[in-house]
Amino acid sequence: MPLFEPKFGGGFCAKATIKGVVVTFHLTPTGQKRLSDAGVQPDKKFPLALLADLARQGHAWTPPSIADKTDIAFAQQFDLNLAGDEAAERMFTACTDCASYDDLHLVAWQSAKRSRVAILCAGCRVALAERCALSVPLPLVSLESLSQLEAQGKLPAQSQLLLALRRSLANDLSAEWERFRQSENQRQRALRLELPGELKLG
């Protein structure tokens, strides 16, 4: 389960383990608000599926990574989901070439007169830098922007990758949020019952 924590310099981030890799997601103000509104407290854990939902909507994003050797120790210390929440892990988009989650862009280029498309991390984009016809940060990609780019002929038609991306963007995870909200409410009620003094009104 990811950890919702204050970020150095302000704002919040969420640290999660996805397929054994510790990934730090920065949160937009909307992402922070959605977590707070759902009852996630700072320095507390929450379901990985909720972070996957924020990531696919661009409210949780990964900056270029700074190698951090303490990450695995951190994950063990805070008991992040090292065992894995496999269904939620599969919801995160990764680099087509190296499976990294860092700083992903939707990239299109021409190769052997064919239009190609991939989702690439910063490292894997370097080799294509000269040939890129399009490079859009993944958090900015929506169903609407995909349709616009396709209509402008900037993306190849009938791409499996774009089909999968569309499916991911269209995925409705509102039931996951509701399930979490209800379990948080139950937990809060149970806590209040354990502390009867707090029930006294007036």
Minimum CB separation of residue 96 from Zn ion in Å reads 7
Name the residue among 73, 29, 27 with its Cα closest to residue 51: 27
For 90, the token pair is 């599969």
Residues contacting Zn ion: total by CB under 5 A: 6
- Binding test (CB under 5 A) with Zn ion, winner from 1, 24, 100, 173: 100
Per-residue binding string, Zn ion, 43-82, x by CB under 5 A, is ----------------------------------------
Minimum CB separation of residue 21 from Zn ion in Å reads 12
Minimum CB separation of residue 145 from Zn ion in Å reads 22
Strand partners, 5: 13
Closest CB to Zn ion among 121 and 149?
121
Closest CB to Zn ion among 55 and 124?
124
Other beta carbons less than 10 A from residue 119's beta carbon:
20
Report phi then psi at 12, rounded to 5: -130, 155
Which window, 19-27, 39-47, 88-96, 162-170, contacts Zn ion (CB under 5 A)? 88-96
Per-residue binding string, Zn ion, 113-152, x by CB under 5 A, is --------x--x----------------------------
Closest CB to Zn ion among 122 and 146?
122
* Contact (Cβ atoms closer than 8 angstroms) between residue 146 and residue 152: no
- Pairing between β-strand 105-111 and β-strand 114-120 as defined by DSSP bridges: antiparallel
Name the residue among 99, 188, 118, 110 with its Cα closest to residue 159: 118
Question: Which three-class secondary structure state does DSSP give residue 16?
Answer: strand
Give the footprint of Zn ion on residues 29-48 (CB under 5 A).
none
* Contact (Cβ atoms closer than 8 angstroms) between residue 14 and residue 79: no
- Binding test (CB under 5 A) with Zn ion, winner from 82, 98, 126, 127: 98
* Contact (Cβ atoms closer than 8 angstroms) between residue 81 and residue 3: no
Closest CB to Zn ion among 91 and 119?
119
Which window, 11-19, 93-101, 111-119, 138-146, contacts Zn ion (CB under 5 A)? 93-101
For 200, the token pair is 């006294």
End-to-end CA distance of the chain: 39
Residues in contact with Zn ion by CB under 5 A are: 95, 97-98, 100, 121, 124
